[in-house]
């Protein structure tokens, strides 16, 4: 009797087909090695829009899991998922993306005591685009300010590993699985599945994320850079900060601490007409990275 796996193997062996499987969440990825384990939380939110200052969370999922310093993932622990009534109508556009309707969230709320219990037992929170998720959940529960964060987009150098995109669905496809996305819990489960994989260079995705998220970053503020250099700065990866209360008005770039000297050489050679010895710099690590405070 021909099995599904036999057919898959036959198709794959031709070199003309790639078979992808529906993601089926598992309870364990790796047998116990005796290594010291930590608790990570994969987090995902759905919201009424993109701006954490004006929009509201309508769904939160927390999926905790065990991992060790080598990036091995062990047990997947019981998850928390909740809808929340934002107090305003959900737009048709957001419903089309998330599948969440006004009727689904009516009278619903996130249990912050339960959220606190999850966060108190964890060493690290991970999101796929933590720059989006962290400011939203910090507004919900301040304990998210006091824990290390990592991003499974920014803290894994996907492009250098040969991947042409960083969307979770695309990366899942490249690793041979698919799922029905844009609901918080399944997105978390897909994220953990991705972390369990091995990069083309041979390193576990989770190990690469741990190493990169443990760095210290420096934000260089290119204050008083000549206006005519704006396109050069943008091509270099600088972003514009329009300023405001307590915020600088200048071009800025975040980079690892060990690249600061080279960046200062570039700025003095290509941007500033006169030698600049010192520029404002902010240093931050995983405790502050992706936070609305930075």
Same domain, 170 and 24: yes
User: In whole angstroms, what is the distance from residue 265 CA to residue 213 CA?
Assistant: 26
Final residue in a domain of this structure, among 213, 230, 249: 213
User: In whole angstroms, what is the distance from residue 181 CA to residue 113 CA?
Assistant: 27
**What is the crossing angle of helices 205-213 and 184-195, to 10°?**
100
Final residue in a domain of this structure, among 177, 196, 213: 213
Domain count, the chain: 2
Same domain, 82 and 116: yes
Kindly state whether residue 8 falls inside one of the protein's structural domains: no
Task: Tell me, yes or no, if the pTM score tops 0.95.
Answer: no
Kindly state whether residue 100 falls inside one of the protein's structural domains: yes
Phi, psi angles (nearest 5°) of residue 269 = -85, -40
Helix (H) or strand (E) holding 83: strand 80-83
Kindly state whether residue 149 falls inside one of the protein's structural domains: yes
Kindly state whether residue 109 falls inside one of the protein's structural domains: yes
Distances (CA, A) of 233 to 225, 271, 277: 9, 8, 18
Kindly state whether residue 248 falls inside one of the protein's structural domains: yes
CA angle 267-268-270, nearest 5°?
65
Same domain, 51 and 74: yes
Same domain, 35 and 88: yes
Residue 254 bridge partners (DSSP): 219
pLDDT at residue 214, rounded to an integer? 93
Same domain, 121 and 234: no
Can you list the residues of the chain whose pLDDT is less than 70?
Answer: 1-2, 182
Which domain does 47 fall in, by range?
19-213
Same domain, 163 and 123: yes
Residue 218 bridge partners (DSSP): 255, 283
Same domain, 127 and 226: no
At 9-46, the pLDDT tens digits run 888 888 888 889 999 989 999 999 999 999 999 999 99
Kindly state whether residue 11 falls inside one of the protein's structural domains: no
The dihedral region occupied by 95, where left means phi > 0, alpha psi between -120 and 50, and beta the remainder, is alpha
| Nearest CA-CA partner of 195 in 71, 285, 105 | 71
Estimate to the nearest angstrom the gap between the alpha carbon of 238 and the chain centroid. Answer: 20
Question: Which domain CATH number covers 39?
Answer: 3.30.420.10
pLDDT at residue 74, rounded to an integer? 98
Size (the chain), residues: 294
| Nearest CA-CA partner of 287 in 71, 138, 129 | 138
Same domain, 150 and 278: no
Final residue in a domain of this structure, among 213, 242, 269: 213
Same domain, 118 and 183: yes
Same domain, 195 and 232: no
Same domain, 268 and 122: no
Kindly state whether residue 162 falls inside one of the protein's structural domains: yes
Same domain, 203 and 229: no
pLDDT at residue 2, rounded to an integer? 60
């Amino acid at each position: 009797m021909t099995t599904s796996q036999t057919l898959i193997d036959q198709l794959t062996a031709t070199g003309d087909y790639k078979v992808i499987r529906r993601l089926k969440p598992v309870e364990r990825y790796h047998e116990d090695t005796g290594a010291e384990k930590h608790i990570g939380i994969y987090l995902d939110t759905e919201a009424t829009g993109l701006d954490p200052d004006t929009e509201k969370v309508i769904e939160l999922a927390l999926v905790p899991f065990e991992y060790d310093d080598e990036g091995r993932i062990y047990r997947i622990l019981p998850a928390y998922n909740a809808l929340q009534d934002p107090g305003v109508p959900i737009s048709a556009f957001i419903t089309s993306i998330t599948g969440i309707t006004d009727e689904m969230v009516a009278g619903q709320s996130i249990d912050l005591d339960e959220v606190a219990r999850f966060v108190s037992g964890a060493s690290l929170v991970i999101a796929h685009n933590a720059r989006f998720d962290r400011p939203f959940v910090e507004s919900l529960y301040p304990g998210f300010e006091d824990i290390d964060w990592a991003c499974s987009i920014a803290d894994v150098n996907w492009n250098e590993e040969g991947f042409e995109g960083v969307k979770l669905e695309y990366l899942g496809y490249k690793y041979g699985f698919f799922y029905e996305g844009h609901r918080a819990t399944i997105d978390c489960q897909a994220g953990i599945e991705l972390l369990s994989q091995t990069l083309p260079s041979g390193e576990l995705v989770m190990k690469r994320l741990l190493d990169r998220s443990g760095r210290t970053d420096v934000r260089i503020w290119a204050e008083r850079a000549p206006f005519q250099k704006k396109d050069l700065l943008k091509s270099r990866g600088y972003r514009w900060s329009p300023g405001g209360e307590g915020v600088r008005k200048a071009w800025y770039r975040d980079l690892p601490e060990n690249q600061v000297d080279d960046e200062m050489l570039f700025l003095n050679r290509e941007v500033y007409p006169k030698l600049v010895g010192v520029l404002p710099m902010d240093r931050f690590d995983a405790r502050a990275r992706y936070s609305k405070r930075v």
